[in-house]
A and B are shown apart, each in its own frame.
Chain A
Amino acid sequence: MSSSGAGCDCEGLYRQLLDAMINANRARAAEVVESALAGGIPPAEVITHILDPAIVELGTRWEGESISLAQNFIASKIAEDALLRCLPDREDPDCRKGVAVIGNIEDDFHSLGRRTVGLFLGAAGWQVVDLGNDVPAEQFLEKALEVGARVIGVSAMMQTTAINIKKLRELIDREGERDHIKLAVGGAVFNWRPELVTEVGGDGTTRNAIGADQLFTALQEQALARELSS
């Protein structure tokens, strides 16, 4: 992974940030972000050229099982710290990729994965509406329609709760929104049992949070393409 931003030593800063994330050094990570900003690097470039590459690399390591949930959790916290520090630039609506509604399905209370997805989507430029844990199907659809989201991301950790996603699939179809709103599903159980994605009616999934941007972008494009063609 390399990183290059115009007029900044982003490569060096990226490596320092990645090192701090892997070594669970939240304070050091904050120093790296502060030094980047103090050096005159615009917040958007800090995100694009320093934070994003570090997140991508961590995602690769997570996928390769060379880092643990605890390290991933710390990385999420560090990403959250950095995003909050750089937040004013992210508020530019022209930079947004779209609106994503996310939440854990009814009866599911395992929020870590969902929160990580929300952070990574936010870092990638999405406006994220996080409905939290134990969200009924009706609330997902209602919120998506309210904010104009083309993608709903639903998380479930266990098979017992993943099955509840079927209710949302059925509701979206019943309300005639199948072509307008796509359903992204994720969570540990989908990694163990990929066939469950189809079983619960998901339009797509990603094995980890780092893939969320790509998945949501693809699904949003599908929804918009269907809209344009109809």
Chain B
Amino acid sequence: MNSYRRVMNTLGGLPVDRPPVFAVLGAYGAALTGCDLRTLYSDPAAYLAGQKAVQESYGFDLVLAPFDFSAISEAFGGETVWGRLQTPNVRRPPAGSVAEALAMPLPSLSSTGRLPVALEATRGLARCYKEEVPVIAVLPGPGVFPALLIGLESWLETVLFEPDQAARLLAHSAHFLIAFADALLEAGADCLVFTEGMASAEIAPRELFAEAILPHLTDVLRAINGPKVISSTGGRMNHVLDLLPGLPGVVGAIVGSRDDIAESRRLTPPGFNLIGNLDNLAFASAGSAKIGRLALDCLSVAAPAGHFVLSNSGGDLPQETPAANLKAFKESVSLHRAGHGEVA
């Protein structure tokens, strides 16, 4: 059973030889191929080489299109900060106010900044791995997307105190987000992950998410074809998890590392896929035996019901993550033995 079939069967509730396993290793590819991060995220061939190296080294069940939101902010006119070891980040958002953001033209996907890199790298991954290893692409969630344009603080202030302006910016930014999502699917992404920070308990309470964000999230997801997964970017999301099943095209959620995954299962209906939920920071700081144990603990709780993908929760794993930890993580799914929805 190849990774593509394993993942698709898991999502569909069909038998699998073992649960799928995945680690977010975008920037990690640079460490394996010896290129710098600026090159990795600016050159589709370099990014593709990085993912191939990750795949050859560890054989996880998904490959990752460039997970780099700074490219989006940059395309709108923002500045990027480049680190030696971490994925690029937004240094200065493109707009200083909602009014400025609303006045900005939407960037061209095919010609602005590094946006074409994401699309070309996705095409490359799809060519390499079509129907062998699923390609996932990650996008900012519709509710938090405006934070890339005006900064998180300004966005929170707008959502909380200027709901009309917030609604205008959400609508404005949705045009770009939908077009980008469609383009990634067209380029060959098999599934889209939306990292919706506003669904994180650390960012917003349930009421704010439900009232100010969920209707917009629903509308945007309805406008995008293809299977979709919601992530809280590593933060806890059990407080809103019951609101996600049934959203248009949403097949699962990446729960936070501090969410009780047994509770996640109780909160969601049978057939809803859960993904997670090992802590990113543990990968760099713990030993391989501990990573293996944490993974097995997670599997023992979440895998028996099927519809589960073992993964880290959050963004890129630290580059200093030892290879032994990633191997222990991968091997945990082989050590784990059958439950419902699995065949030994």
Contact with B along A87-121 (1 / 0, CB 8 A): 00000000000000000000101111001000000
Partner pick for B203 among A70, A159, A161, CB 8 A cutoff = A70
Whether, in the assembled complex, B245 has its beta carbon less than 8 Å from a beta carbon of chain A, the answer is no
Whether, in the assembled complex, A67 has its beta carbon less than 8 Å from a beta carbon of chain B, the answer is yes
Point out the residues of chain A lying under 8 angstroms from B160, CB to CB. 24, 70, 73-74
Contact A73 B83 (CB under 8 A): no
Whether, in the assembled complex, B171 has its beta carbon less than 8 Å from a beta carbon of chain A, the answer is no
Contact A107 B156 (CB under 8 A): no
Looking across the interface, which residue of chain B has its beta carbon closest to that of A26? B161
CB distance from B152 to the nearest CB of A (A): 7
Partner pick for B156 among A26, A70, A110, A159, CB 8 A cutoff = A70
Whether, in the assembled complex, B208 has its beta carbon less than 8 Å from a beta carbon of chain A, the answer is yes
Point out the residues of chain B lying under 8 angstroms from A161, CB to CB. 81
Point out the residues of chain B lying under 8 angstroms from A71, CB to CB. 205
Point out the residues of chain A lying under 8 angstroms from B90, CB to CB. 109
In the complex, which of the residues A69, A158, A161 has the most CB atoms of chain B within 10 Å of its own CB atom? Answer: A69
Contact A193 B281 (CB under 8 A): yes
Whether, in the assembled complex, B159 has its beta carbon less than 8 Å from a beta carbon of chain A, the answer is yes
Point out the residues of chain B lying under 8 angstroms from A67, CB to CB. 205
User: Which A169-214 residues have C-beta < 8 A from chain B?
Assistant: 192-193
User: Which A39-89 residues have C-beta < 8 A from chain B?
Assistant: 65, 67-71, 73-74, 77
Partner pick for A68 among B86, B152, B153, B203, CB 8 A cutoff = B203
Contact A160 B153 (CB under 8 A): no
Contact with A along B181-211 (1 / 0, CB 8 A): 0000000000000000000111111001000
With known contacts A69-B156, A159-B86, A161-B81, A109–B204 Cβ distance under 8 A: no
Partner pick for B86 among A73, A112, A160, A192, CB 8 A cutoff = A160
Rounded to whole angstroms, the CA-CA distance of A69 and B160 in the bound complex is 12
- Range for the number of chain A residues in contact with chain B: 20 to 34
Whether, in the assembled complex, B222 has its beta carbon less than 8 Å from a beta carbon of chain A, the answer is no
Partner pick for A73 among B85, B92, B153, CB 8 A cutoff = B153
Contact A107 B81 (CB under 8 A): yes
Point out the residues of chain B lying under 8 angstroms from A70, CB to CB. 156, 159-160, 203-205, 208
Point out the residues of chain B lying under 8 angstroms from A115, CB to CB. 153
Point out the residues of chain B lying under 8 angstroms from A73, CB to CB. 153, 156-157, 160
User: Which B152-182 residues have C-beta < 8 A from chain A?
Assistant: 152-153, 156-157, 159-161
Can you add 17 more A-B contacts, CB < 8 Å, to A65-B201, A68-B205, A115-B153? A65-B202, A67-B205, A68-B200, A68-B202, A68-B208, A69-B156, A69-B204, A70-B159, A70-B160, A70-B205, A71-B205, A73-B160, A109-B90, A109-B92, A111-B153, A112-B153, A192-B281
Residues of A participating in the B interface, judged by any CB pair closer than 8 Å: 24, 26, 65, 67-71, 73-74, 77, 107, 109-112, 115, 158-161, 192-193
Q: Provide 26 A-B residue pairs closer than 8 Å at the C-beta atoms, listed in order of the A residue.
A: A24-B160, A67-B205, A68-B201, A68-B203, A68-B205, A68-B208, A69-B202, A70-B159, A70-B160, A70-B208, A71-B205, A73-B153, A73-B156, A73-B157, A74-B160, A77-B161, A109-B92, A109-B151, A110-B152, A112-B152, A112-B156, A158-B89, A159-B83, A160-B83, A160-B89, A193-B281
